[in-house]
Amino acid sequence: MTRIVVDAMGSDEFPVPDVEGAVMAAREYGVEIILVGDEAKIKPALTAAQPGNLPIRIVHAPEMLTMNDKGEGLAFKARHKDAQNSMAVGIDLVKKGEADAFVTAGNTGAAMVTSLFRLGRIRGVERPALAPVFPTATGSCVVLDIGANPDCEAVHLYQFGIMGSIYAEKVRGVKNPKVGLVSNGEEEGKGNHLVKEATPLFKASKLNYFGNVEGKEVIGGNVDVAVTDGFVGNVMLKTSEAVAKLIVDKIKAAIKGGGPLAMLGGLLVKPALTQIKKLLDPSEEGAAPLLGVNGLVFIGHGRSDSIAIKNAVRVAKNAVDAQVLDAMKSAIEESLKK
């Protein structure tokens, strides 16, 4: 049985959404759940979620990392061998082989730093990358990096491409995924120095390299994996989320303010609008993988609800079942032979 650690102190409203989502996942996906965090706070939430005989247990971690943890203080809490925060304790379970993956909706920076210090990197990977899935006109696209590495070198983008391609194939089920470099123009030769330096590495690789892609090609579904540095990727993510929310809010406002006919029309199109809202809702994916660390780590939004946590566990289980970590290690090893 797949064993997933859930950081019960992760979400903004912890521990209720984290615990409820974990219980839902155990019931629906047949996984063993290990809830990590303050036992005194977790127990009442777990009892209220009525887990019955589901395989769920609690591992006590009296401390937690928050948005206030930064710099040297965060580094100390992330790397100290006797750290008692929920992220460190949970990730250590993965490192020791007592669990298969770790899921958190906590501080993204803290999760990345703790994962790096406690799991280390896959041999040959210079920079891990955070890789969410964007909805597109034809399905979805893995975009990396979206914030872990604001400044990158060409070799980092190349490694992102390898890891993103493996993830898209193994977890997303995409055959021979098309990989594109995010740029300000489709033509080869466009882009900043980073894109231009990375292009020869992609062209000489075994990746199914599509070429440069603009933001509209990413959303249009031209590629299955879009590679960029963390600065551009983070701007893409936050802009797309804001635009999606704006569209939904404007449609709602137009229907409410359009009089009786508009209200009637709103009722008729409600099923379609519900489908669109679901497509644009980040909770449907649940969490993004941190690719490149030597273990499976998934990081979700702080505002995650129980549905988002449940879906994050599903994504983590899929990655475990697909043996994506081993596939990534093999692909990186192969790239080092060149």
| Residues 220-238 pLDDT 10s | 999 999 999 999 999 998 8
pLDDT for 283? 66
Answer for the pair 133, 142: CB distance below 8 angstroms, yes or no.
yes
Domains of the chain, by residue range, sit at 3-127+285-321, 130-236+331-336, 243-278
Answer for the pair 303, 107: CB distance below 8 angstroms, yes or no.
no
pLDDT band for position 277 (cuts 50, 70, 90): low
Portion of the chain with pLDDT greater than 90, in percent:
71
pLDDT for 333? 86
Given phi > 0 = left and psi -120 to 50 = alpha, else beta, which region is 201? alpha
Angle made by CA atoms 29, 32, 38, in degrees to the nearest 5: 120
- 229: preceding bond cis by omega (within 30 degrees): no
How far apart are the C-alpha atoms of 128 and 122, rounded to whole Å?
9
pLDDT for 75? 82
Portion of the chain with pLDDT greater than 70, in percent:
94
pLDDT for 276? 65
In the beta sheet, which residues pair with residue 299? 104, 288
Amino acid at 211: G
Angle made by CA atoms 299, 198, 193, in degrees to the nearest 5: 105
Task: Report whether pLDDT(269) > 70.
Answer: no
**In CATH, 130-236+331-336 is 1.10.238.10:** no
Strand, coil or helix: what is 297?
strand
Closest CA to 205 of 100, 332, 41: 332
Residue 33: C-alpha distances to residues 25, 209, 262 (Å): 8, 38, 46
pLDDT band for position 216 (cuts 50, 70, 90): very high
Closest CA to 161 of 191, 105, 205: 205
| Greater model confidence, 332 or 6 | 6
How far apart are the C-alpha atoms of 335 and 205, rounded to whole Å?
8
Which of 132-141, 145-154, 248-257, 268-277 has the weakest average pLDDT?
A: 268-277
pLDDT band for position 186 (cuts 50, 70, 90): confident
CATH topology of domain 3-127+285-321: Isopropylmalate Dehydrogenase (3.40.718)
253, burial (CB in 10 Å: exposed 0-12, middle 13-18, buried 19+): exposed
Which of 28-37, 59-68, 243-252, 321-330 has the weakest average pLDDT?
A: 243-252
Instruction: Quote the mean pLDDT of the chain.
Output: 91
pLDDT, one tens digit per residue, over 82-126 is 889 999 999 999 999 999 999 999 999 999 999 999 999 999 999
Q: What is the side-by-side order of every strand in the sheet holding 133-135?
A: 133-135, 140-144, 225-227, 178-182, 208-213
pLDDT for 7? 98
Amino acid at 262: A
- Give φ, ψ of 224 to 5 degrees: -100, -20
| Greater model confidence, 150 or 3 | 3
Identical fold, 3-127+285-321 and 130-236+331-336:
yes
Task: Report whether pLDDT(40) > 70.
Answer: yes
Q: What pTM, to 2 d.p., does this model score?
A: 0.92
Structure tokens at 236: 């893409």
pLDDT for 335? 79
Averaged pLDDT, 204-216: 95
Averaged pLDDT, 290-317: 96
Averaged pLDDT, 138-167: 94
Task: Report whether pLDDT(160) > 90.
Answer: yes
The CA-to-CA distance between both ends of the chain, in Å, stands at 38
In the beta sheet, which residues pair with residue 3? 32
Answer for the pair 294, 102: CB distance below 8 angstroms, yes or no.
no
